[in-house]
Structure 1
Amino acid sequence: MNLKALVAVTGKPGLFKLIGQNKGGFVLESLDDQKIKSVVNPATTKLATLEDITVFGSEDELKLTDILERMKTHGEVPHAKSDGKTLRQFFREVAPAHDEERVYASDIKKIINWYHIIKELPLFNEKAQPVDDDAAADGI
């Protein structure tokens, strides 16, 4: 799963694809309706790539990409508007080590909504590019 260019924006629903940068900030394209483009200023708006997002775990934090991967292989994923019990039970199956006191129903709904947005994208089925430590050290 290669989700590097996908970001969540604080205060905006849905997900966005980072398509560029200009002097005003980052240029984003909405994944809900791929015709909507906007520019956000990183000084005033918080962006988080899906690869960097974690979920509270009972011991360690859980990577969102791992949870999405388990959702992909799970089979049927409920709709984000399903009742809270259904969503919580589903999340127990795909993220059994999550901290149920700190992961709220709204968090689960958001993750399930994101899954439904990205499941049809080609990026979702691509393998993430491995990071070459030597190349990273050389600045390549």
Structure 2
Amino acid sequence: MLKKILSIAGKPGLYKLVSTSKTLTLVESLIDKKRIPIYPQEKIVSLGEIAIYTMEDEIPLKDVFTKIKENENGGKIADEHKSNNKKLFSFFETVLPTYDKEKVYASDIKKIVNWYNLLIENNIDFEVEEPIEGSDADKDEENAEESTKK
């Protein structure tokens, strides 16, 4: 599900992908549910493509959200964790103890916290596995469709 949730540079919050064409992308804000067009020159990032640096490797944002959900018992993150940077880093360390303290900044953690709360408010299930485009399952489906057409 995170592949269809977008962050757009210069715009607050998150957006759900509605449709795409050659000239624009139509998105819906998770904050106010308004639909707006996004043009190719605007920077769009899918949450499914974001990863967080750890000491060993990178961990997908989906896995970080899952750890936060377990830590918060499925609820929103309390505002007290966002009150200052010290509490923010302390909270994030309980969720992901191996995060890279040199590469992950307070602003990154604030975004993650805000995004997580938006996803929870909108009942978006980020734990659902998404099929990978071009995977063997997709190819098997295409082959099955082609063989039935013959």
* TM-score bucket (shorter structure): 0.7 to 0.9
Aligned to 1:57: 54
Please tell me the root mean square deviation across aligned C-alpha atoms, in Å: 2.2
Cα 1:125/1:134, change in 2 over 3 Å:
closer
Following superposition, the deviation at residue 66 of structure 1 comes to 0.4
Please report the TM-score for the alignment, with normalisation by the length of structure 1: 0.85
Cα 1:90/1:70, change in 2 over 3 Å:
same
One-letter code of the match for 2:47? L
Describe how 1:5-44 pairs up with structure 2 within 5 A: 5-34=4-33, 36-42=34-40, 44=41
**Any idea what SS the aligned residue of 2:2 has?**
coil
Q: Which has the higher contact order (CA 8 A, sep 6+)?
A: 1
One-letter code of the match for 2:7? A
**Any idea what SS the aligned residue of 2:102 has?**
coil
Aligned to 2:145: none
Please list every run of at least 4 consecutive aligned residues from structure 1 whose deviation after the TM superposition is greater than 4 angstroms: none
Following superposition, the deviation at residue 72 of structure 1 comes to 0.7
Contact 1:3–1:128 under 8 Å retained in 2: no
The answer to whether the aligner puts 1:136 opposite 2:138 as a matched pair is yes
Cα 1:41/1:63, change in 2 over 3 Å:
same
Following superposition, the deviation at residue 45 of structure 1 comes to 1.4
Aligned to 1:99: 100
Where do 5+ consecutive residues of structure 2 fail to align? Answer: 143-150
Aligned to 2:111: 110
Contact 1:78–1:87 under 8 Å retained in 2: no
Following superposition, the deviation at residue 23 of structure 1 comes to 4.5
Could you report, residue by residue, the CA deviation over 1:70-107 in whole angstroms, capped at 9, with x for unpaired residues?
A: 11110262327411111101101111111111111011
Larger gyration radius, structure 1 or structure 2: 2
Sequence identity (%): 38
Q: Distance in 2 between matches of 1:126 and 1:112?
A: 16
**Any idea what SS the aligned residue of 1:123 has?**
coil
Cα 1:91/1:81, change in 2 over 3 Å:
closer
Following superposition, the deviation at residue 128 of structure 1 comes to 2.0
Where do 5+ consecutive residues of structure 1 fail to align? Answer: none
